[in-house]
Amino acid sequence: MQAKDQPLLEMRGVSKSYGGVRALSEVNFSCHAGSTHGILGENGAGKSTLIKMIAGVLRPDAGEMFYRGQNVQFASAAEASAAGIVCMFQELSLIPDLSVADNICLLRPPRRFGLIDAKAQRQRAEALLARLHCEDLDPRALVRDLSLSRRQMVEIAKALAQEPQLLILDEATSALTRRDVETVYGLLGELRSQGVASLFISHRMAEVDALCDRLSVFRNGQHVESFAKGAKSEAEIVRLMIGRDVTAKFPPKADPVPRPVVMTVQDLSWEGRLKGLSFGLGKGEILGLGGLDGQGQKELLLALFGVLKAVRGRVEINGISGLPTSPYAAKTATTRLALVPEDRKSEGLMLALPIADNLVAAAMDRVARGGIIDRAALAATIAEGIARLQIKAGSPEDAVATLSGGNQQKVVIAKWLMIGPDIILLNDPTRGIDIGTKQEIYRMMRELADQGKSILFYSSDYAELSGCCDRVIVLYDGQVIRTLEGAAITDEALVSAALNIGQGAAA
Amino acid sequence: MILWLRRNPGLAGILVLFAGLYLIYHMLHPRGFTSAVLIQNANESVAIAFVAMAQTVPVLARGLDLSVGAVMTLTGCIASVLVSGTPLEILGGMALTLIAGAAFGLINGLIVVQGRIPPIMATLASGAIAIGLALLIRPQPGGEVDGDLGWALTNSVWDFCDTYGLAQGGAAWWVRPFADLPVPLILLFGTACLVWLPFKRTLTGRTVYAVGSAEAAALASGLPVRRAQLSAYLLAGFFAGCAGLYLAIQTSTGNADTVQAGAYTLNSIAAVVLGGTALMGGRGGVIASILGAFVLRVISFYFRILDIDPLLQPLIEGLVLLLAVSAGAFAAFNVRNRLELMR
């Protein structure tokens, strides 16, 4: 007989080390059916390790895990999923070359005579997608052809298809559009009323606050405290997470001053995704790119960095007209450009290579003499890069894949700062990284701007735009629909502009 | 249908290429559009088509099997010993030959999956072992494969029925529509339809594609990754066994020909690529590879009827391969986002 207050999942004294480094030590943790449990902590706090263990991907070195009162040891993700524990990992677990329907019904597809029934599978996928208000998604489309935000919805549908008892969401909403986030909120509420427990990991405090009824804070591989939502203030929680006081989330903005223009863009168009964009970027300015996801922000950054072909329109950078013809041309031009890309794992880093090689990847010419790499200059440059962004790394020779997400992103940024860029293009640089690192990035952006660098900053988090930017241009359907400046940059204004509704209507 | 072809661009491309090449071939051929020419061509294409099928499955799972040609040679030698005698002995011998091929494939799979040895190295070594075993069985070419069987399986359906006195010697009304079809093609596509197509619709088959597409995601999703990799190599061995068995029946001998084994392995990779299967795995299929193998063969048929110097054959085959593969790359010129090219 299962007692009513017995936890659905309980972990006792669980520890895990990777090659001598303690990722989790002596963790006691429990969660109950019908509860949405937020897990908070900085990068490297042990959240990922914790959920990987629950999901059967990792096995603990010590300690016990109880599920529905039974002592369990999952040998694989398949076993955990058969028991009703379903995990959506931060790194998407979809198969790009399979269709949406295949992915949704990946593990337990409907079968006839032992073979997968494609028609039944498609119907099931359609039903699940309809539940997520994603009727626009064709179940026969290949996942590789979908945008990141659509993929994340497919991932959620896939988790639902497994009829979870315990659902783990690891940064599951980081790439979603606002509308989809609302859908997911509603869905989680529905699941909760059906007695499903959810573990929710997010770096967006507002989300955690809106969704969870109980919170647990982790720090340095230890479970610090669990408490009901509302028992502590946001400031207290942040203090628990980072173990120190945080005064202001965003660094103070510079006073508005007239800035000489370094880049003017006029009538920029590309492939029906950019439809005649015009704006100017000032020296030492942080210019935000607002708007709903997928309105051309990413394409704009790629176009400016010379990645896109057949871009039309006029661009003038410090008196020189024309777009760079390639990323190489962009970073070597008189006015140097740098792009911190959307997907750090595929476009930002060479994951298997050492941290050191990644750091100098864009600035090899600075450490080479006559085409030959100067080892002393190389070592100095690498040390400088690591120190400048306070990257927490064991040895520069370790593969960059061994770093936490936040530190990986710091490597990407450090790599581009090494070329001494004049214009820095940032494509959602804080996606899926912890508060501490986010704040370091905000601070660094402001410092760079104060040094006279110009920054074009796209973020899917409106709070970041209003907190960091001197000016924000809001994009809608490939065009600049509104420009907000100074005190006018508020979350409300950003939202109403993004939705292309009249000024003040949303406020 | 059109939608289906758009979702399978590799298959559509190779289908058009093969149909075009083969139609022109028949128009140029003095005895074009006859059953005799079709049967002869089919006989020359079946072994390489089976080997191409064999190569496709590991490639889909982001592997490679450099032993397919050698396993074909080995199983051919085994068949040349076993496939003779009473009908029951013949059937048993055929079954044992195929089991031997599948078993060899399974061993390849175990070495790659359990031993974690890169597939290129593992199958290069096991291929050499297969050739060695073949030489032990047949130091000199020879063997006595049942003659009736050889005749029945390398001619038309009518001949098959006639040889074994089935369906009123091939006169039955329900045989009529198929009477002129070559038996080898029926064997080839029959195997594809009875083995590959159902396999593709199992969870294991889907996992083969998933592993090739994103191995980490497949593992994290709880898919049976190891089972899929094992079955990919097992199927490769089985299809290579089909090729060996057919070759032995066709030539009624076994021959441990090292050069031939190597050539078949390389051609199998060419056929897989022609069929549009991605060498990085995840995309493509066995049927397209069969057509890829056919295209390679049709090219060589042209040499016979056009009286071109046979010494030019490798040169022209290479150029055609390069051209055909480039056709798939033309799409790259229309990609306006350079990052898409890297995916």
CB contact under 8 A, A118 and B219: no
Q: How far apart are CA A54 and CA A85, in angstroms?
A: 8
CB contact under 8 A, B206 and A57: no
- Predicted pLDDT of residue B291: 96
In angstroms, the separation between the Cα of residue A156 and the nearest Cα of chain B is 13
CB contact under 8 A, A309 and B337: yes
Report yes or no: A90 and A53 within 8 Å, Cβ to Cβ.
no
CB contact under 8 A, A309 and B206: no
Q: Name the residue facing B201 among A115, A326, A346 (closest C-beta).
A: A115
B213 touches A at CB < 8 Å: yes
Exposed, middle or buried, B333 (CB in 10 Å: 0-12/13-18/19+)? Answer: exposed
B215 touches A at CB < 8 Å: no
In angstroms, the separation between the Cα of residue B264 and the nearest Cα of chain A is 29
Exposed, middle or buried, A385 (CB in 10 Å: 0-12/13-18/19+)? Answer: buried
Report yes or no: A198 and A165 within 8 Å, Cβ to Cβ.
no
B2 touches A at CB < 8 Å: no
Tens digits of residue pLDDT in A454-504: 999 998 777 888 889 999 999 988 899 999 998 888 877 887 787 676 544
Q: Specify the CATH superfamily of domain A9-242.
A: P-loop containing nucleotide triphosphate hydrolases (3.40.50.300)
Closest alpha carbon within chain B to A86: B221
A81 touches B at CB < 8 Å: yes
A92 touches B at CB < 8 Å: yes
User: What are the residues facing A24 on neighbouring strands?
Assistant: A16
- ipTM value for the complex: 0.85
Tens digits of residue pLDDT in A175-187: 677 788 888 888 8
A120 touches B at CB < 8 Å: no
CB contact under 8 A, B224 and A78: yes
Tens digits of residue pLDDT in A398-453: 898 888 888 899 999 999 999 999 999 999 998 777 778 888 999 999 999 999 99
- What is the enclosing helix (H) or strand (E) of B78? helix B68-82
Domain layout of chain A by residue ranges:
9-242, 248-336+421-507, 349-420
Tokens of A189: 């509420």
Q: What pTM value is reported for the model? A: 0.76
Tens digits of residue pLDDT in B111-160: 999 999 999 999 999 999 999 999 999 999 988 899 899 999 999 999 99
Sheet holding A471-476, edge to edge: A337-340, A423-427, A454-458, A286-290, A471-476, A479-485
Q: How far apart are CA A372 and CA A383, in angstroms?
A: 20
Tens digits of residue pLDDT in B20-38: 999 999 999 999 899 999 9
With beta carbons under 8 A apart, name residues in chain A contacting B198.
115
Tens digits of residue pLDDT in A108-141: 899 988 899 999 999 999 999 999 888 888 999 9
Exposed, middle or buried, A501 (CB in 10 Å: 0-12/13-18/19+)? Answer: exposed
Window 175-204 of A: residues touching B by CB (8 A cutoff) are none
Tens digits of residue pLDDT in A216-273: 988 878 898 899 988 888 778 877 876 655 445 788 887 778 889 999 999 999 988 8
C-alpha closest to that of A197 among A238, A168, A240: A168
- What is the enclosing helix (H) or strand (E) of A182? helix A178-193
Question: What's the CATH number for A248-336+421-507?
Answer: 3.40.50.300
CB contact under 8 A, A308 and B337: yes
